[in-house]
Amino acid sequence: MKFFPAAVSAGTLALAALLTGCTPVADVEAAPDAANPDCAEVMVALPEDLAGAQQRETTAQATSAWGNPSQIILRCGVPVPGPTTDTCATVNGVDWVLREEGSLWTATTYGREPAVEVLFDTEQVASSTVLVELENAVSRIEQTRECLSTKDVQLPG
């Protein structure tokens, strides 16, 4: 019977290696404020499936990825955007600053500190689905400002 625990351990390790081989860890760089405790609140509330893609492990704190290869990357603790002329959209009560480079989009929460950034390819996933499905997680960070339209701004005059 002395060999039984060793056999179980070896079998367990082989199974673990097989399972982790199916979904490699995504290499993602942590944001500057990733250690902010509010990011932990966001991370535990993230959906396991996002826009039809399954969540996978990442190499950095306060990050997540979905799809293999990654179709969606999320980082919490990115620099908070200031006033901008970039497109700002409100989706389910969350304001997002949107930057487009072809089909690659970066959406960053506006009016929440720390900010959450999501990168995705609109040819692979729908922006409306991604942002709607992240509402529960990112709304864990209190909103202190909101997007304004240029017609909402009073010009000196």
Q: Residue 91's closest CA among 133, 132, 130?
A: 132
Percentage with pLDDT > 70 across the chain: 80
Cis, bond preceding 114 (omega within 30 deg of 0): yes
Domain span at residue 128 reads 26-148
34 belongs to a structural domain: yes
* pLDDT tens sequence across 66-75: 999 999 999 9
As to burial, measured by CB atoms within 10 angstroms (0-12 exposed, 13-18 middle, 19+ buried), residue 157 is exposed
The set of residues, in sequence order, having a beta carbon less than 8 Å from that of 81 and lying 6+ positions away, is: 97, 108, 110, 115
128 belongs to a structural domain: yes
Distance CA 51, CA 123 (A): 12
Helix spans in 25-116 (H) = 37-44
Report pLDDT for 72.
98
18 belongs to a structural domain: no
The set of residues, in sequence order, having a beta carbon less than 8 Å from that of 125 and lying 6+ positions away, is: 50, 51, 52, 53, 71, 72
What does pTM read for this prediction?
Answer: 0.81
Q: Count CB-CB contacts under 10 A for residue 94.
A: 23
* pLDDT tens sequence across 116-155: 999 999 999 998 899 999 999 999 999 999 998 655 555 5
Mean pLDDT across the stretch 13-21? 36
Q: Residue 130's closest CA among 34, 47, 31?
A: 47
94 belongs to a structural domain: yes
Distance CA 136, CA 131 (A): 10
Distance CA 64, CA 47 (A): 10
16 belongs to a structural domain: no
103 belongs to a structural domain: yes
90 pLDDT higher than 60: yes
Task: Specify the amino acid at residue 38.
Answer: D
As for how many domains the chain has, the answer is: 1
Report pLDDT for 155.
55
